[in-house]
Chains A and B, each alone.
Chain A
Amino acid sequence: MDATSIGWLALPLAILGGAIRVSTPFIFVSIGELITEKSGRINLGLEGTLMLGAMAGYAISYLSGSPWLGVLSAGLAGMAFGFLHGLLCSVKRVNDTAIGISLIVLGTGLAFFLGKPLIEPKAPPLPSIALGFWSSVPQVRAALDVNALFFVGIALAFAVYVFLNRTGCGLMLRTVGDSEDAARALGFPVLRVRIIATMAGGFLAGIGGSFLSLSYPGSWSEGLSSGQGIMAVALVIFARWRSINALGASLLFGGAGALGPALQGIGVTGYYYLFNAAPYILTLAIMVASTSRAAPFADAPGELKLHR
């Protein structure tokens, strides 16, 4: 085995490679959720959007032969779903949690239904960039074989930071999310801003979904997502509604998620499922640690009804 030649280094390398791979969909879906939440709404239905994006991306990549066209269509499909969520939640007195769950059901249903013929065919996958070219060790090469979307995700985190903190539109979004009254007094179109923010969130979640089917392992199946869309909500809380933090949190979650398979790779198999649950436990621990009845989330958008 080659693993013996680099000894214990195999483990951190496997975690690193896994972290990069697992974190990519997290980056997109969490920054999408962040944009939506910054407008004062919460979209619990991104799990459905993610599956829809994974299916749409794979289908279009297969039909057109261009994976990037697939990514774009996944984003557009997600955006359409975001529009639906934004519209439905604009009805007064509607329960946004329940709408989120219903869109998970509808989104997964549509993805599974339309994706049925896609289980067999092979779509062209997204290209990856071999950053490990300098090394002759196969583990290093495998770990540093980074998908192009990962870099798009990193750029996105910084772009969203600039957008939120340095532009007029970003200020408008934050105002709408912090105080509806203030936004109305300033003449901002509150509903329209929220719908657009939910659409943007859906667009990014769709792209995150396309990574699931168009990158590793590069196929469409009904078990592609394991709750990444739902975890995005927790991730945004974890990141305290800051996009750069969301990037870091996604990497951390990816690393935690990669722990199980990585340990399995070096022969430690007993705790596979518990390590898989590490991101959930981590999120719960952070939520317990960072909130208390005396000092609720100081960084949460004011209109977000997440804590009481």
Chain B
Amino acid sequence: MSSISGIEPVPSKPLGTAAQLSVALPVLAVLLASAIFAAFVALSGQNPATVFGLIVQGGFGSSFAWQDTLSRAAPLVLVGLAVAIPAQAGLVIIGGEGALVLGGLAGAVVTLPFAGVHALPMQLLMLLAGALIGGLWFGLAGVLRQYRGVNETISSLLLSYIGIAVFHHLTEGMLRDPASLDKPSTHPIDPSYMLPTLPGVGVHAGLAVSLLLAIAAHVVLRYTRWGFALRVVGGSARVARMIGLAVNRWILGASVVAGGMAGIAGAIEVAAVQGTANSSLIVGYGYSGILVAFLARHQPLAIVAVALLIGGMQASASLLQRRLGLPDATMLVFQGLIFVCVLVADAIAQQLRETTRR
């Protein structure tokens, strides 16, 4: 970010060997993580080749596998964006889980008073309600940071736990459907309001929503003054103030939009998969989003690719369990290894870029 005189997006110039390295290093990192994972699998008495084969087969090997992968990727894209958008402004907000479950709850109850209405406005209403509540929840972390100096990473995590508690309190109390006995849930939404299946793909329309939002985020962040202003704010709040940007407003805006993404993810899970808000929403999507965003280096389009990869890995877990008796946590180990290796590779790439620039 060398020129700040005119607020224009500055495309980063490729830097020869350094640019090549910054592509090669993450690939090497994934290979290294795979090697460590292979050793881990071998130590636990399985053939690594079989395991990798099953991961590919279970995630991407058939149309059924692709459907599973894609429907897992949809919320992952959104919770990834929920981390990546504030990251442009230098914020590390990692409480996506809370915004997701509250957004899902809002989506689940907002249409209950309306029966037999046309489906489309109801579907939009559900997504909007999710976005609103999620945005509010993240906005709180933004407000606390800008006006009270509270670290947003910690506050968003605490808010996430508080949000989950509020979710349990409401779904098992006031908003509970008395008919849901073993699994406390809200009243089911009208079946005609459920998001439709995309023709030809066999995956719910939430996938299209999340892809559109990812593309929108890419365009806004890359090609508009908004995206550039956000990066200036993230680069240095002082510089941003000097050139007349209202820093508080940008930070708050980024938090609210990000929370909105997580909230929509929750609303989609309700409106397309669950049909009601219950504890099935709390499966750690918020935390996977952190993983997705960091692996994608907070680039919206890369987030889509990484979400597919992680979604596929998570989808293959059940096949590993059925065929080899490996626990679900196997893929958690693999994800953790990839995450660690890529983070370190990224740091090294960044160092190399800095040294070659000088």
Contacts A105-B335, A106-B333, A113-B330; A277 near B154 (Cβ below 8 A) = no
Question: In whole Å, how far is A58's beta carbon from the nearest beta carbon of chain B?
Answer: 16
Question: In whole Å, how far is A110's beta carbon from the nearest beta carbon of chain B?
Answer: 6
Contact call A274/B343, Cβ cutoff below 8 A: no
Contact residues on B (Cβ < 8 Å of other chain), bracket: 35 or more
Tell me the A63-118 residues at the B interface (CB within 8 Å).
88, 91-95, 97-99, 101-113, 116
Q: What residues on A are CB-neighbors of B354 within 8 Å? A: 93
Residue positions of B touching A, CB distance < 8 A? 44, 92, 94, 144, 147-151, 153-155, 157-159, 161-162, 164-166, 168-169, 172-173, 287, 290-291, 294, 327-337, 339-340, 343-344, 346-348, 350-351, 354
Residue of A nearest to B145 (CB): A308
Q: Name the residue among A95, A103, A273 with the largest chain B CB count within 10 angstroms.
A: A273
* A interface residues, how many (CB within 8 angstroms): 49
Q: What residues on B are CB-neighbors of A273 within 8 Å? A: 165-166, 168-169, 172
- A277 to B165 Cα, complex, angstroms: 6
Contact call B332/A108, Cβ cutoff below 8 A: yes
Q: Name the residue among B154, B164, B173, B327 with the largest chain A CB count within 10 angstroms.
A: B154
- A273 to B153 Cα, complex, angstroms: 23
Please pick, from B154, B330, B334, the residue contacting A234 in the complex, using a CB distance under 8 A: B154
**A167 contacts the other chain (CB 8 A):** no
Question: In whole Å, how far is A59's beta carbon from the nearest beta carbon of chain B?
Answer: 14
Contact call B149/A112, Cβ cutoff below 8 A: no
Contact call A306/B151, Cβ cutoff below 8 A: yes
- A104 to B331 Cα, complex, angstroms: 14
Contact call B165/A292, Cβ cutoff below 8 A: no
- A93 to B151 Cα, complex, angstroms: 20
Stretch of A4-12, A156-164, A192-200, A280-288 that contacts chain B = A280-288
Q: What residues on B are CB-neighbors of A104 within 8 Å? A: 287
Q: What residues on B are CB-neighbors of A271 within 8 Å? A: 169
Contact call B173/A292, Cβ cutoff below 8 A: no
- A113 to B154 Cα, complex, angstroms: 28
Residue positions of A touching B, CB distance < 8 A? 44, 88, 91-95, 97-99, 101-113, 116, 227, 230, 233-234, 237, 270-274, 276-277, 280-281, 283-284, 287-288, 291-293, 296, 306-308
Q: What residues on A are CB-neighbors of B164 within 8 Å? A: 277
Contacts A277-B165, A293-B148; A88 near B327 (Cβ below 8 A) = no
- A208 to B332 Cα, complex, angstroms: 23
Q: What residues on A are CB-neighbors of B153 within 8 Å? A: 44, 97
Contact call B329/A101, Cβ cutoff below 8 A: no
Question: In whole Å, how far is A202's beta carbon from the nearest beta carbon of chain B?
Answer: 15
- A232 to B346 Cα, complex, angstroms: 28
Contact call A109/B169, Cβ cutoff below 8 A: no
Contact call B351/A92, Cβ cutoff below 8 A: yes
Contact call A101/B165, Cβ cutoff below 8 A: no
Contact call A284/B159, Cβ cutoff below 8 A: yes
Please pick, from A95, A109, A270, A272, the residue contacting B347 in the complex, using a CB distance under 8 A: A95
Question: In whole Å, how far is A230's beta carbon from the nearest beta carbon of chain B?
Answer: 6
Contact call B173/A106, Cβ cutoff below 8 A: no
Task: Give me 6 other A-B pairs in contact (C-beta within 8 A), A113-B329, A274-B166 excluded.
Answer: A94-B343, A98-B339, A105-B332, A113-B333, A234-B154, A293-B148
Contacts A88-B344, A93-B347, A291-B149; A283 near B158 (Cβ below 8 A) = yes
Question: In whole Å, how far is B326's beta carbon from the nearest beta carbon of chain A?
Answer: 8
Contacts A97-B94, A237-B154; A108 near B329 (Cβ below 8 A) = yes
- A287 to B155 Cα, complex, angstroms: 8
Contact call A292/B329, Cβ cutoff below 8 A: no
Question: In whole Å, how far is B80's beta carbon from the nearest beta carbon of chain A?
Answer: 13
Contact call A92/B347, Cβ cutoff below 8 A: yes
Q: List 8 A-B contacts (CB under 8 A).
A: A94-B346, A97-B92, A98-B290, A101-B294, A109-B334, A273-B172, A284-B150, A287-B158
Contacts A93-B350, A284-B158, A296-B149; A109 near B287 (Cβ below 8 A) = no
Residue of B nearest to A85 (CB): B340
- A111 to B328 Cα, complex, angstroms: 12
Q: Name the residue among A104, A237, A272, A277 with the largest chain B CB count within 10 angstroms.
A: A277
Residue of A nearest to B159 (CB): A284
Contacts A109-B329, A277-B161; A284 near B155 (Cβ below 8 A) = yes
- A88 to B347 Cα, complex, angstroms: 10
Q: What residues on B are CB-neighbors of A102 within 8 Å? A: 291, 294, 336, 339-340, 343
Q: What residues on A are CB-neighbors of B94 within 8 Å? A: 97, 101
Contact call A291/B329, Cβ cutoff below 8 A: no
Contacts A91-B348, A106-B336; A116 near B327 (Cβ below 8 A) = yes
